[in-house]
Amino acid sequence: MHQEKIEAIKSSIAAADATNADELEAYRMKYISKKSVVGELFAGMRDIPNEQKKAYGQTVNEVKQLAEAKFQELIEKVNSSSTKSKSSDLDLTLPPSNISAGGVHPLTATRQRIIEIFERIGFNLSEGPEIEDDWHNFTALNFPENHPAREMQDTFFIEKNPDIALRTHTSSVQVRVMENQKPPIRTLSPGRVFRNEAISARAHCIFHQVEGLYVDENVGFADLKNTLYHFAKEMFGKETKVRFRPSFFPFTEPSAEIDISCQLCGGKGCNVCKGTGWVEIGGSGMVDPNVLENCGIDSKKYTGFAFGMGIERIAMLKYQIKDLRLFTENDVRFLKQFRSMV
């Protein structure tokens, strides 16, 4: 009698099926829960004569294990089919979820703006290698033998004798352009440069410069000043004032540092401009006749001017960024602020 009942339960467990959560729950109620048919078998124990209790108990336990194993099997079946049905429920007409598109890096945007300004007044673009030989980085530019930039503490050398180094400025591109083109030359060379500097809020061992060069007959210092006046007003706004301070560079004569009126205080004096009302944006000067001759250009017939500016410096002044390291740390909280730029 018991045996027949138990066999019937076993075969109904074997035949049981479930295709969704509701059917799974129905199975659980029928075969697993306290009130299930298996539960009733356990409850029936009390009516079994003592000498049969052990054998009965073993049989019922087997049924219980069978019921639980089947339950696990059905859970897996329902779970895997529900994943499948989810993907087949994909509705292609729904609007897409928001994907953050990112933006142009502030240095790229600043470089692009500088290029636009100079392109409109006739400057083309030129590039040179980041690994440069001594001639293009130093000698052709009039650097004397004992100049500190030629020392290991200032420059990353890749090889000594012959000297090969990571370029310390984009002025090396001037030399390459003048060696390969005849005047008139009006070119802008943006690029990455390298110096052996300790990294701080104001200095980095890798940064970006943009070099400008104009060589033709009768190019004078007035052309240099007018070009840079134009640039400063386009880049920083019409109210911006520009001043030139006498300076020295090996490759220009005369040479001048370029200052603009402080963007923060408008020239009244503040922390950023150290109370002077002026901040430096770069260096400039008339190309030294020696440099022209080094590059095969007749210095009696042609003159030229050159200028160089740090792209980080321009971006920091324009957007009032206090720490140079932010440009390379890739912190999205910083980068996000420039998403709408240019």
Query: Which residue number, 254 or 269, has a Cβ lying nearer to Zn ion?
Result: 269
Tell me the window of 22-30, 159-167, 247-255, 260-268 that interacts with Zn ion (CB under 5 A). 260-268
Min dist CB 175 to Zn ion, Å, is 36
Number of Cα atoms under 13 Å in the Cβ half of residue 186: 15
Query: Which residue number, 141 or 262, has a Cβ lying nearer to Zn ion?
Result: 262
Query: Which residue number, 16 or 264, has a Cβ lying nearer to Zn ion?
Result: 264
Query: Which residue number, 104 or 279, has a Cβ lying nearer to Zn ion?
Result: 279
Query: Which residue number, 251 or 278, has a Cβ lying nearer to Zn ion?
Result: 278
Min dist CB 259 to Zn ion, Å, is 11
Q: Would you count residue 228 as binding Zn ion (CB under 5 A)?
A: no
Asked whether residue 253 is marked as a ligand-binding residue, the answer is yes
Q: How do beta strands 157-159 and 303-310 pair?
A: unpaired
HEC sequence for the chain: CHHHHHHHHHHHHHHCCCCCHHHHHHHHHHHCCCCCHHHHHHHHHHHCCHHHHHHHHHHHHHHHHHHHHHHHHHHHHHHHHHHHHHHHCCCCCCCCCCCCCCCCCHHHHHHHHHHHHHHCCCCEECCCCCEEEHHHHCHHHCCCCCCHHHCCCCCCEEECCCCEEECCCCHHHHHHHHHHCCCCEEEEEEEEEECCCCCCCCCCCEEEEEEEEEEECCCCHHHHHHHHHHHHHHHHCCCCCEEEEEEEECCEEEEEEEEEECCCCCCCCCCCCCCCCEEEEEEEEEECHHHHHHCCCCCCCCEEEEEEEEHHHHHHHHHCCCCCCHHHHCCHHHHHHHCCCC
Query: Which residue number, 180 or 320, has a Cβ lying nearer to Zn ion?
Result: 320
Min dist CB 288 to Zn ion, Å, is 33
94-113 binders of Zn ion (CB under 5 A): none
Min dist CB 277 to Zn ion, Å, is 6
Q: Would you count residue 273 as binding Zn ion (CB under 5 A)?
A: yes
164-203 binders of Zn ion (CB under 5 A): none
Of 16, 104, 206, 270, the one binding Zn ion by CB under 5 A:
270
Of 78, 149, 164, 265, the one binding Zn ion by CB under 5 A:
265
Query: Which residue number, 109 or 262, has a Cβ lying nearer to Zn ion?
Result: 262
Q: Would you count residue 16 as binding Zn ion (CB under 5 A)?
A: no
Residue 269 CA to residue 272 CA, distance in Å, equals 8
Of 262, 281, 317, 326, the one binding Zn ion by CB under 5 A:
262
Tell me the window of 63-71, 247-255, 269-277, 315-323 that interacts with Zn ion (CB under 5 A). 269-277
**Taking phi first (over 0 means left), then psi (-120 to 50 degrees means alpha), and beta for anything else, what does residue 102 get?**
left
Tokens of 195: 């110096």
Annotated binding site: 253
Annotated binding site for Mg(2+): 253
Q: Residues interacting with Zn ion, by CB under 5 A?
A: 262, 264-265, 270, 272-273
